Structure 1
Amino acid sequence: MSLANLAFQCRAWTGAVGLMNGRREFHAAAVLMARKQKERAPLTKAQLAAKARKRALKAKKNVYDVEKMPLNDAISVLRAVEVASPNATYELVIKTQAPERGATIPKGRYSLPREPKPKAKDRILVFAEGRAAEEAKKAGADIVGGVELVEGIISGRHQATMYLCSPDLIRAITPRLGRVLGPLGLMPSERRGTVTDDVAGYIRRLQGTNEWKGDKVGAIRTAIAKMNWPLEDVIKNIRYFLTVVKRATGNERSSLAAKEEGSNKPQYQIVRVVLSSPHGPGIRIADY
């Protein structure tokens, strides 16, 4: 057998083995058609919301986020967590429905049966003239005057935490001060009782009280008690503050008021009540 015939037979045998092994020889010709990848349509808002809900359900949560406790048990748990900090303070958070845009944020005054910290003194500015101005000064107002105080408030020379006004001056000060004090929630208003003929009486009622106020998302926070207090004092403070907030937000009304308005729906529905401490978890209260 010649050398050429032997080489030809070897190439044929090698090709046959290659086919048996499942190999395929490719040529260098240009690709005629590329596979097109399908573009995914963007998710709708409903699909995105459903995806977010699934992620939230899968996320790890603190056991106290879903579990509710009676008030007594919650106090005991936090007291055990803060055993090394007997002078730590309980914080109470009352979450209501968020106020609608342009709605009035709920606020009010309270005086706890036992104060956990010294009361902050209000700096009171009163718009009044004549006898009303004299009575306001005697009652303890820090700044008393008429329309001439407006310029000082705008420039920042006169600053206060509360502004009161007699009815005869409210129209004179509103055009200029409404844009300054309004966004801060400090503008005198008849609805809130800060425009009154009895300015001196209002100031006397303020003495010994603190102000509570909700925020834009409907949360009301306050320091409510100390860890080393007797259990009865802590519960008394919490129950008292809850009652004050419930009345102001429409969650607790007399049957007569409900009949007059024709509805039992509160203005700001309370969603949850949470008790916490500096190093402890936030525990949802079941019996509020």
Structure 2
Amino acid sequence: MFRGKKYQNGAKLIDKNAAYDVTEAMDLVVKTAPAKFDETVELHVKLGVDSRHADQQVRGAIVLPHGTGKTQRVLVFAKGDKAEAAKAAGADYVGEMDLVEKIQKENWFDFDVVVASPDMMGVVGRLGKVLGPKGLMPSPKAGTVTPDVAKAVQEVKAGKVEYRLDKTNIIHCPIGKVSFGPEKLTENLNALMGAIVKAKPSAAKGTYVKSCVAASTMGPGVKLNAAKFV
């Protein structure tokens, strides 16, 4: 794969065989981000679990200390007072069956997070086949199925991120923007890793955090010292 000159120059600053501590890693991620736009910094964490087993799932959500730097568009399924509270909290879209039909008929996905009150899950369930594959299906574990939809909206707007295993037992999660600088990125990363370690399933055996790599959207990956998080 061809890489541009800026990427190649950045990659030279990173020792591929080294595992860096968090602060140094974040410093390198910021220094080696080659794009002219404000790149997102993502963390990729490989865990020593088997996501095929229900008792080894790792999933949850956390409000990052400094947010993600991205304004999330929130869609809320709620009615009555809860719908009004969601609107007051800053939800971008609030509705019931009208939104289900809009998604089904118009293939409309102008939103990043879906929140629902428990009494609306019968309606939301009809969208499982389209929301599920996109990772948009609300869930109690992620705090997106809740009686307090207003609080859920506020948390998402404040920088709440959801983490979950993919099929290869890796969690991919944004931890901010390059413009945050190393210090804020370090605090966000430590908060996320703290939540992931806390979420360790009792059925997990052996090394839990196998590897951690951080990278900006267009930049090279920087390996972190995974042992620090055990």
Root-mean-square deviation (Å):
4.0
The aligned amino acid for 1:272 is S
SS in 2 for 1:148: helix
The answer to whether 1:160 aligns with 2:101 is no
Matching residue of 2:16:
64
Length-normalised TM-score, structure 1: 0.55
SS in 2 for 1:271: strand
Cα distance 1:75–1:168, how it changes in 2: closer, same or farther (>3 A)?
A: closer
Matching residue of 2:190:
239
Q: 1:276: Cα distance to partner?
A: 5.4
Structure 1: stretches of 5+ with no match in the other structure: 1-61, 252-262
The aligned amino acid for 1:94 is V
Matching residue of 2:209:
270
1:195 maps to which of 145, 155, 164: 145
Q: Greater strand share, 1 or 2? A: 2
Q: 1:210: Cα distance to partner?
A: 4.2
Distance in 1 of aligned mates of 2:50 and 2:193: 19
Cα distance 1:206–1:266, how it changes in 2: closer, same or farther (>3 A)?
A: farther
The aligned amino acid for 1:109 is I
Q: Compare relative contact order (CA 8 Å, sep 6+) and give the higher one, 1 or 2.
A: 2
Matching residue of 2:5:
none
The answer to whether 1:216 aligns with 2:167 is yes
Matching residue of 1:110:
63
In our comparison, the structure showing a higher alpha carbon Rg is 1
Q: 1:112: Cα distance to partner?
A: 3.5
Cα distance 1:250–1:141, how it changes in 2: closer, same or farther (>3 A)?
A: same
Distance in 1 of aligned mates of 2:212 and 2:47: 9
The answer to whether 1:185 aligns with 2:138 is no
Cα distance 1:267–1:137, how it changes in 2: closer, same or farther (>3 A)?
A: farther
Matching residue of 1:119:
69
Cα distance 1:140–1:271, how it changes in 2: closer, same or farther (>3 A)?
A: same
Distance in 1 of aligned mates of 2:100 and 2:21: 51
Aligned length: 206
Cα distance 1:97–1:136, how it changes in 2: closer, same or farther (>3 A)?
A: same
Length-normalised TM-score, structure 2: 0.66
Question: Quick check: 156-165 or 193-202, which moved more?
Answer: 156-165
CA contact (8 A) 2:175 2:188 kept: no
CA contact (8 A) 1:225 1:237 kept: no
Matching residue of 2:228:
287
The aligned amino acid for 1:287 is K
The aligned amino acid for 2:103 is I
Q: Deviations over 1:38-62 (max 9, x none)?
A: xxxxxxxxxxxxxxxxxxxxxxxx9
Q: 1:274: Cα distance to partner?
A: 3.1
Structure 2: stretches of 5+ with no match in the other structure: 1-13
Cα distance 1:171–1:111, how it changes in 2: closer, same or farther (>3 A)?
A: same
Cα distance 1:99–1:160, how it changes in 2: closer, same or farther (>3 A)?
A: farther
Cα distance 1:170–1:279, how it changes in 2: closer, same or farther (>3 A)?
A: closer
Distance in 2 of aligned mates of 1:205 and 1:268: 32
